[in-house]
Structures are given as C-alpha cells and as structure tokens.
Amino acid sequence: MSIRIALENPPEFYTNLDIMKGHVVLNLSRHETVGAIIVKLEGESRTALGIPNDNSSTGVPHREMPSAGDIIYENHKILYKVAQAFPNENSPPQAGPVILNPGQHHFPFQFKFPFNNSCGNTEAMAKIGGVVNAGGFAPGAGLFGLGGIRVMDGTKQLMYSHVTKTLPPSFTGFPGEAEIRYYVKVTIQRPGLFKENWRYQIGLKFLPIEPPRPPKSNQEAYARRPFAFRPRTPPSTAPPSTKKRTSFFGRSTTPQPPPPVGGPSNSSSSTEASPATPPSIEMSARLPHPAILTCNKPIPLRLLAKKLAPSNGEVYLVAVQIDLIGKTIVRCQDLINTELNRWVIVSRQGLSIPVSKLDDTVGTEVVLPDAIWNNVPLPNTVMPSFLTCNLSREYQLEVKVGLAWGKPDNPQHGSSNSSSFFGGSNRNKGKNLVNIPQEIHLPLNFSNVQVFSGLTPPAALVEAMRQGRTRPARKQTNPNGRPPQQQQPRPNIPPQGVASSSRPPAPVLPPRPAVVNSQQQQQNDASEAALYPPQLQPGQDAPPYDDAPPTYEEAMAEEMTGPAFPSTARPAYSGVTDENAASSLPEKN
C-alpha cells in the first residue's frame, strides 16, 4: 500500500484565489475496504515561547501562569478547508464502505485559496468540531459504525485573540519559536475496530497578493542629515629651532638659518594663511511616499547632496551601504518576543563620486548616480510585510554613506584603506598629514517601510474594493433587529470662566428618563419590532446572530474564477527552506 498526492501543474508557490487541483493516488496490493477519502487544505501559524524568570509583567496572576522555564504554545488555523474525494457527491447518501481492488486508484480533489485567514471567523470556528455529517457519508464506517468526516475542534481557536487579515506567507527561520506552514492532508478511513486510518501530507509554499498600491505621486519620504567637516589644522609657520646641538666630541654648534631665496625676507609677505573653510553638506535619502519596496525588485532610492555653506573644498562619496532590517514580533498568549534580521543589499567601498565641486553655489543639489544599487534586487529570502494573529513582520531601511573632504587616492576601484586616514599606511610617509582626506560616515534611516510581494491583485478585485469603500455604511441594528436608540443631545452649558454682562444662567440638568413599567416597555418593544422587523432568509425561523458579514472584496474574490497569476510571472521566493521538513517547534505535552 502506498499513498501519494499528485498536484496538477504546481507553481513555485501558491497565492490567493489560486485553484489547486490534484489527485490522491492510492496503490493497493490487495483488496481493501475504504469508507471515505478526506482531503484537507490547512495552514498553521504556530509560536512557542519559554516563560521568563520574571513573569510579573505579563499581567496574568501567578497561580495561573506556568512556572519559569516552561514552554507555552499558540497554534492558529489560519486556513482550513475540507473536501471529500471518495465517495463523490453523486453517490447515494446511505452508501456503505466500498471494497477497492488491487491496483492503482485516482481520486481527484480541488481547492480554492481564500483571501483572508479563517481563524478570525469565530462563528465558523465555533461550528467546527468532532464529526460532521455523522451517518451521512459512510454509515458503518469508523468506530462502532459511526460515519462522517472527523475534523478539528474549532472551539479551541476561541481561546485566542484573532485578527482578520490577508493570509500570511510561508515562513520559517526561527527554529523552536515560530513558523507558518501550509500543507495538503489526506486521510483514508478504514472501517473496523482494529484498523488504523491511512494518512499522508505534503507541504507547499504560499505568498499572498499585495494590497492595492496608492496612485503614483511626486511625494517622497526622506531621511536627511546635515553635517560639516572639522576645520583642518593650518601648517606650522614657526621659525626653525635655535637650540644648540651637541656634537659627538662635546663641541656645541648653532644651526644657521637658511639663506633667503630671491633677496631679503619681507615681514609683510609672511607665508602664514588662514585655515580653509570646511565644507558643509546636507545628505538626504528619498523613497516614493508611501515607502514601499517590492520583493525581488531593486530599491527605488535616491541620494541627494545639498551645499549649505560657501567653501572651496571638494567632497566625494567614498562608500555606501544599504541594509534592510526585518523586525519579527512573536506573540504567544501573554508573552511577546522580537527577533531582528538584517540583509545587506549593497556594500561598496573605494568610490570617488563627486558630491560638491569648487564652482557650486550655496543651495546646489546634486543627485548621486544610482547605478550602484538600481540593479541589485532584494534577496528572495525577504518576505512581504504581514500581520496575523500571533506573528507580524515589519521592516526598516538603513542607508550609510561615507564622504571625504578631498579626493581619495583609490578612485572607483579597489577597497578603501581606512588606516591611511590615521597615518598608519606606509604610503603616507613623507606626506603632509594635513592633506589626507577627512572622512565622515552618516546614517540615514527609514524607521518604517513596507515590503510588497509583487503580485498585483486582479483589476476586478481592485475595482470591487474601490466600490466597497464608496458603498453606504450598513445600518447598525441590535440583535433583535431594531435600530439602536438615539442618544439624547447634551444641553448647551456655557463654559466656566467666560465673562458675561448678565448674570450667568443656572446649570441646566439633562432630562431624567421617565419611569416606564415592564408592561409598557413590552408594548413599546412590540411596536418597534413591528416597524423594524428582522430580515430573515428563506427557511429561517429566528434572526441569525448579528455578526459582521463578509466584506465586499471577499465576496467578489469568492466569485472570481480562473488563474489570476500565471506561474511564469511569479518571482522567486524562499521563505521556507524545505516545505516538507518536520516542524521545528517542540511538541506540546
């Protein structure tokens, strides 16, 4: 016996609105009795954190908190879909177990990836639990003749706090702490008291589509920093030392001053000069507003330099480094941990790019060439920003620039020798240390940038979301179907301390609500119910629970069919090293 899941044309990763088609391939070497074949599409967001030694800041009473060193868990079923591959929908509802002949059998199945996570729908989670359709799919199958599909207990999800957001991407990288995985499970139910069900699963990668981008504009987000170099020490103009030197034989000699060149020296034409004015520059890094980066795309960065003060000094860009910092917030019940990742996008040294020239006037802006970073895409291990129930990912961008006052000795090629700026290099021997270029490093940070997946949503979905924002707000109702009562307007009481020509009026008290007996209240409720009857669906005897309905874009997403994103247009993504590897989180006891 062997079980295999064969997916039809599987892409590098799946995304929202994708339709997954596949077959359950069952190879039998003998006759087997099968009650049902159940296929599940699941996604889990799991976290595990250890209790710190000082758990007084968690806000949970000590008697209810586990002891220090224990591990607590939180598992969210962000995706849960169930389909029955055998028997199919056309089979009679009271059909019994089927005996399959030896050989290879194929059972097709199909799923459609939703838009948002499923654990946030508390009403749907509360309805999942135990066995559904008991006695309907395979009566006599299972233990003691109990039939139906055994599913997870959705009531466990009600213990956690949830958010309704777009499905997060597949994610590993913090072993034993956090992971997000998607997989397809198959269960072959074998009726019998001592027969175990056959199970098999495969993992898959998931990358969500990005939200609609704002329209393009000329606005930019920037990080700027003005700076000025330190004034250089003027060269020494003191006369030569007149200290007597003692020879080896004990005779003292007095050094003679050098003879004047070109005639006698003139005190008015002294070589003493005032120190040069140090350059003052403002460096700024700019991104389109809002600051959005795209997976597998270069960073749309601009570097500008502005001259702030008159100076004859030249300034050069000698080094640049661009780092992307990922901030992962891991939450497990009342514990929160923050993990940082850093990707070095660009790191170049030994440059000699002019920033400020001699003939530049004050206020001149120079746009530095972007050939250093405009061809370097983000690594395929960078996932888009996301927020789910117990995990979230944020990003920061850090740009470091190195500037030199004076042209460096190693233009464009080779690595800069930092020891030359401190006089440690042999090539500086015999040189005037005053002429060594002065170097300064400036950080330019963007504290909050978003990273999008690069999978643009379908035009029909974007239009549906735009229309959903312009639709009138749904009229709020109470659970009994009546509109909420209007609050009484507050009386206009003049503020204290305001001068008035007449005597200030006495404070006006709000009207006291009239006392209504229970019988009169029931009559009022009945009259309001007659005026505002609850909207019942066909076949309903009582109004349903007043829960938030699905959004307009969710309803439109469910109606869309067909491949939204071809496999050839999907960028590379390596958020999960091995989607079929075992979970790195410790098992819950």
Strands (E), 308-422: 315-332, 335-356, 365-367, 386-387, 391-405
The pLDDT > 90 percentage for the chain reads: 38
Q: What number is the average pLDDT over the span 279-307?
A: 94
| Strand arrangement, sheet containing 220-228 | 220-228, 280-288, 302-307, 365-367
> What gap in Å lies between CA 374 and CA 322, rounded to an integer?
12
Confidence category of residue 479, pLDDT binned at 50, 70, 90: very low
Average pLDDT, the chain: 74
* 0.75 exceeded by pTM: no
pLDDT tens sequence across 324-353: 999 999 999 889 999 999 999 999 999 999
Q: Are 78 and 117 in contact (CB under 8 A)?
A: yes
Range with the lowest mean pLDDT among 29-33, 121-125, 349-353, 360-364? 121-125
Q: Phi, psi at residue 88, to the nearest 5°?
A: -75, 180
> Closest Cα partner for 169 from 290, 16, 341, 19?
16
User: How many other C-beta atoms can be found within 10 angstroms of the C-beta atom of residue 506?
Assistant: 6
> What gap in Å lies between CA 355 and CA 97, rounded to an integer?
80
216 vs 421, higher pLDDT = 216
Cβ neighbours of residue 517 under 8 Å, at least 6 residues apart?
Answer: none
pLDDT tens sequence across 365-409: 999 999 999 999 999 999 999 999 999 999 999 999 999 988 876
pLDDT tens sequence across 218-265: 999 999 999 888 887 665 555 555 555 555 555 555 555 555 544 444
